[in-house]
A = this chain, B = another copy of it.
């Protein structure tokens, strides 16, 4: 793992612990559920992006930590609610019992609600960041996490399960469901560095959208080409669940070429950023070439 990435993850874990509530009365079951789900071994890609975009734009990563953690809280809440019986009904998340299996449905629902609520409280904890920037962060995160972003993607995904989605629909599901939150992560990094230059914000968005889509296509490819051992989860699950994927629509070779194009597009966008973007370039390549 890249040394910067390791350092960022350490900072994120520590900040997450300092921001999350820890009750000692009856409410402990929900603060425990929140902590359980936040520390589930995720890759922390979103908060890493927030910190690195802040740094590349000339900001101090310490100032961006609340924004980074807020994005990860939104991501975590979405996984908790996605796993609920009325949604995907998943008993396992990264090989561990999902939140509602560990704490019961009612407390999992509330833990998700609480993480979503806490994300916005956490944004207001940013120090040495202007109030104008915090308001922009609240606006950006709420917009990209709502019906015009992540939740919108979940709805389109649910609806499309009833028919067979075409390429355009798959694209939209991914752009909303996954892409929007990755976009919020990079934009919040820029905002923490007080960036207002539209060219920089646009370049950050292009990077986020490109790696977000590439990430999903790689997921679809690995589900066909990888082994359960290498992937760390059962392969062939898309086929088993009768799920439409980019690979089924386009074939593996076209998908690999598309991932290449998207990664190049992401890397080119970085030219507009003011600082050294080597780490972000390496990250884009690493995500494209990942084996799990």
Which A residues lie at the B interface, using CB under 8 A?
21, 23, 25-27, 29-31, 34, 77, 81, 84-87, 105-107, 109-110, 112-114, 116-118, 120-121, 123-124, 130-132, 134-135, 138-139, 141-143, 145-148, 151-152, 154-156, 158-160
Contact = CB atoms under 8 A, between A and B. Distances in A.
A152 B29 CA distance: 10
B155 A26 contact: yes
A117 B155 contact: no
Nearest to A156: B26
A21 B141 CA distance: 16
Contacts of A116: 113, 116-117
Interface-central residue, A81, A87, A139, A151, by most chain B CB under 10 Å: A151
The oligomer's copy count stands at: 2
Given A116-B117, A117-B116, A160-B26, A84 B109 contact: yes
Contacts of A155: 26-27, 29-30, 107, 110
Interface of A is mostly: helix
A86 to B, nearest CB: 4
Contact of A29 (B30, B142, B159): B159
A281 B29 CA distance: 39
Contacts of A77: 113
Contacts of A105: 86
Nearest to A123: B138
A35 B31 CA distance: 31
